[in-house]
Structure 1
Amino acid sequence: MHAWPASEVPALPGKGRDLRIHDTATGELVTLDPGPVARIYVCGITPYDATHMGHAATYNAFDLVQRVWLDTKRQVHYVQNVTDVDDPLLERATRDGKDWVELAEGETALFREDMTALRLLPPQHYIGAVEAIPGIVPLVERLRDMGAAYELEGDTYFSVESDAHFGEVSGLDAAAMKLLSAERGGDPERPGKKNPLDPMLWMAAREGEPSWDGGSLGRGRPGWHIECVAIALDHLGMGFDVQGGGSDLAFPHHEMGASHAQALTGEYPFAKAYVHAGMVALDGAKMSKSKGNLVFVSKLRRDGVDPAAIRLALLAHHYRADWEWTDAVLTEAIERLGRWRAAVSRPDGPSAEALVEEIREALANDLDAPSALAAVDRWAARQAAEGGTDEGAPGVVSRAVDALLGVAL
């Protein structure tokens, strides 16, 4: 599966700072010190509907992570999956009378268009669950053979008790996990499971649903969590720098994935930091496909909204915060974009060296994009009120905003 084209990232003078970021597993800010190549895995979409603001906010956050790393003169190895076969996708295809493959391909193509328009840097490896199945099956068989998985009525489940570190990603107690498992795709009430929290690794073929050869597992399809584990281990290995996604993935998805990988390899941890973006609401409730309260990137683009303004609307909120999308949020972003473009369109202006360092410091401090925006606002206000004599300043600001914030002025 191919990703989307990369926009050029301008080179800036000097060097960025190492990233301090909130790790869900420890509940603290940690300073990441990758080697020459920083490794990041971000969980991708289940493509049964278009990209909404919640998606965009999440992927924008991890785009900032990449930009901070690139500014430190590191390379970035970024991997993202597409869950192109799963219950929600099959249910939507049935509801709409569409072929599930056609639905998945169409929505994935639209996602690529949205990511390109927002100038989010693409992953080096963009892998669908279906194409990963040949690598998933041996992992499930290995977990079964080592006693970390078991069969129940043809399905194969992972035993969470096989990982001594289970629970350390989310920090939740068993009761909270059980509630979230039921809400987020698990089946804690199924009779016969060794532990209600045990997640499915391989679902035996169901009538009328797609299935694949699972070797000794029989025909079926993979569970949600093992999909990402297989892709991450294949392309990044254990102990990569950041596992990312929305805050609703901390449990069960990232918790279960970490345990799968740790049981498989005997190594710890799966990822050095688990980083989660907040939720975006509309009309008082979290944007979700099930509720239908969505604002789509593609719809805004069709309505003529500049993608740079959409991106500024996202950047105006700290990535870990839960916030609500309103018309006022977009209006403010459009006005800010206009002020910034007017400021950099002049032939000279106030010195921009300090501004570049302010942006760098803000982003290195747990991706504090709102503070970075405020710094650019102050420079633009000085430009409008006083002007300046530095002929290179507008160009420096334009390149810095592009390189570090992903906004083309």
Structure 2
Amino acid sequence: MSQEPSLKLYNTLTRTKEDFVPIDPANVRMYVCGPTVYDFAHIGNARPVIVFDLLYRLLRHVYGESHVTYVRNITDVDDKINARALRDFPDLPLNEAIRQVTETTASQFHKDVAALGCLPPSVEPRATEHIGGMIEIIERLIARGHAYEAGGEVLFRVNSMPDYGQLSGRNLEDNIAGARVAVESHKENPADFVLWKASSENEPGWDSPWGRGRPGWHIECSAMSKELLGETFDIHGGGLDLIFPHHENEIAQSRCAHGTDMMANIWMHNGYLQVEGRKMSKSEGNFITIHDLLETEKFGGRKWPGEVLRLAMLMTHYREPIDFSVARLEEAENRLVGWQRAARASGATPPDAATLAELADDLNFSRAATVLDAMARKANRGETSAAHCLAATLTFLGFPLDSLIRQEGDEATAQKVSERLAALAAKDFTKADAIRAELLEQGIQLMDYKDPETGERKTKWEVAR
């Protein structure tokens, strides 16, 4: 197990870049908030998946694959899911309608993030699998005076936690204003948040000491992380938009329930994303899903390979805001094509140490990319070791070695075959033979045949072995 390079990570909780010192180097633990599966994931959702996949790869390299546990949850109980189920499947029983929504959406999410080059997490829990753990935490909070039952709900008592608000850096009064909640009569404090709420007959529900109901959003992640990673773990990640209220309330619940000083030692958050200089929203007409980019021509008039989307996301430092644009995707594609053309695989070559050192400094991918550019230049000058090292490093980073140049080659071959068929039709056999010979030199063998239905001359090709 290598301890090099040493990692430095920016901690939102302390507002400083810190040396990463795991609680247990043989069991490095990371939790990242995953999707609420009521709709296809949008490109803003893609950013944390890609960022924390990169961190996961780096942690596995430093501490060993078997010594890192990465948990990314799926939220499959939520009022948005209920609304979508009632809208899309009004004739089905509610539980079946909810299952249809969550299974379809989760399946699409898995397909999308795989196309982005992301490894599966070690564990992917679903909220509905951990209701018992949520009830247990709520019971402990009530017993310790941190929660109370009122108005058909169980609420967290924010005044019971003196340092509530550390993560967001706002005092309780600011957080109350930020919560945008009505001053409900059953609440002791307008900032008190829901741990458990009653369910009607048209809502999913589970039996509990407080009647049939369902959990609040925040308690879900507290229960899943505790069950799978422990009361205190190493890294908790997510988007900047989750700092308040979600992550702030996770900390409050978990620390008060377990009597710990920390929930996670390091909190990491990726920056916001906008599209072509504007905030992404359905009302703006620029709401784009990962599926849209991969499978349709909605953005820039074409489909975009997942590896291009991955690089476009990583080219800006993860903590900085990102402007997602067609120009940015084109820049990423051109850069990746250059790397792929220069790379040459060799199974025994490790990833480049200089690239890893840049990533170890708070995932500084932009500096790492500069190292890759320099390696590609050396490979293009004929340095075989640089070509091998570049290939190994691209693989480590989640980029395929020849996808874009293979596609480029297929298009070029198809064009040459069309030119040869035209030459044969014009009885220009000298040109046709020259094209066949040119392609054979590139390792592409042509095979002519007649279409059995039309009698038309056609050609297929394969890479010569």
Decide: shared fold, TM above 0.5. Answer: yes
**Offset, 1:298:** 1.7
Show the counterpart of 1:6.
none
In 1, distance between residues paired with 2:133 and 2:281? Answer: 31
Shifted more, 36-45 versus 94-103: the winner is 94-103
1:224 and 2:192 matched: no
**Amino acid across the alignment from 1:18:** S
Show the counterpart of 1:24.
12
Structure 1 residues 225, 291: closer, same or farther in 2, change over 3 A?
Answer: farther
Q: Is the 8 A contact 1:16 1:68 kept in 2?
A: no
In 1, distance between residues paired with 2:5 and 2:206? Answer: 47
Q: Is the 8 A contact 2:344 2:391 kept in 1?
A: no
SS at match of 1:244: strand
Structure 1 residues 284, 91: closer, same or farther in 2, change over 3 A?
Answer: farther
Structure 1 residues 121, 290: closer, same or farther in 2, change over 3 A?
Answer: farther
Identity of matched residues, %: 36
In 2, distance between residues paired with 1:176 and 1:375? Answer: 44
**Amino acid across the alignment from 2:399:** V
Q: TM-score, normalised by structure 1?
A: 0.88
**Offset, 1:358:** 2.3
Q: Is the 8 A contact 1:202 1:223 kept in 2?
A: yes
**Offset, 1:262:** 0.7
Q: Is the 8 A contact 2:73 2:127 kept in 1?
A: yes
Picking from 370, 385, 398, the partner of 2:366 is 370
In 1, distance between residues paired with 2:361 and 2:285? Answer: 34
SS at match of 2:41: coil
1:213 and 2:197 matched: no
Show the counterpart of 2:153.
155
SS at match of 1:82: coil
Shifted more, 24-33 versus 140-149: the winner is 140-149
Show the counterpart of 1:63.
53
In 1, distance between residues paired with 2:200 and 2:122? Answer: 34
Q: TM-score, normalised by structure 2?
A: 0.78
Q: Which has the larger radius of gyration?
A: 2
Shifted more, 31-40 versus 188-197: the winner is 188-197
Unaligned runs of 5+ in 1: 1-10
Show the counterpart of 1:79.
71
Structure 1 residues 88, 179: closer, same or farther in 2, change over 3 A?
Answer: farther
In 2, distance between residues paired with 1:33 and 1:306? Answer: 36
**Offset, 1:346:** 9.3
**Offset, 1:291:** 6.5
**Amino acid across the alignment from 2:198:** A
In 1, distance between residues paired with 2:128 and 2:59? Answer: 31
In 1, distance between residues paired with 2:289 and 2:11? Answer: 29
Show the counterpart of 1:5.
none
Picking from 15, 24, 37, the partner of 1:47 is 37
In 2, distance between residues paired with 1:161 and 1:243? Answer: 24
**Amino acid across the alignment from 1:337:** L
**Offset, 1:207:** 4.2
The aligned runs of 1:285-364 (5 Å cut-off) are 285-287=278-280, 293-303=286-296, 304-345=303-344, 356-364=352-360
Q: Is the 8 A contact 1:163 1:263 kept in 2?
A: yes
**Amino acid across the alignment from 2:86:** T
CA deviation digits over 1:180-213, x for unaligned, max 9? Answer: 322xxxx353222112111100011134211111
In 1, distance between residues paired with 2:213 and 2:281? Answer: 28
Show the counterpart of 2:424.
none
**Amino acid across the alignment from 2:59:** W
**Amino acid across the alignment from 1:287:** M
**Offset, 1:161:** 2.2
**Offset, 1:392:** 3.4
Show the counterpart of 2:429.
none
In 2, distance between residues paired with 1:291 and 1:254? Answer: 28
In 1, distance between residues paired with 2:61 and 2:314? Answer: 18
In 2, distance between residues paired with 1:290 and 1:232? Answer: 35
Show the counterpart of 2:93.
none
Q: Is the 8 A contact 2:236 2:266 kept in 1?
A: yes
Structure 1 residues 151, 134: closer, same or farther in 2, change over 3 A?
Answer: same
Relative contact order, higher structure (CA 8 A, sep 6+): 1
Show the counterpart of 2:185.
191
Structure 1 residues 289, 240: closer, same or farther in 2, change over 3 A?
Answer: farther
SS at match of 1:241: strand
Picking from 257, 277, 280, the partner of 2:270 is 277
Unaligned runs of 5+ in 2: 91-96, 297-302, 402-465
1:33 and 2:21 matched: yes
**Offset, 1:138:** 1.6
Q: Is the 8 A contact 2:376 2:387 kept in 1?
A: no
Aligned residue pair count:
383
In 1, distance between residues paired with 2:241 and 2:259? Answer: 27
Show the counterpart of 2:129.
131
Q: Is the 8 A contact 1:163 1:262 kept in 2?
A: no
Q: Is the 8 A contact 2:379 2:385 kept in 1?
A: no
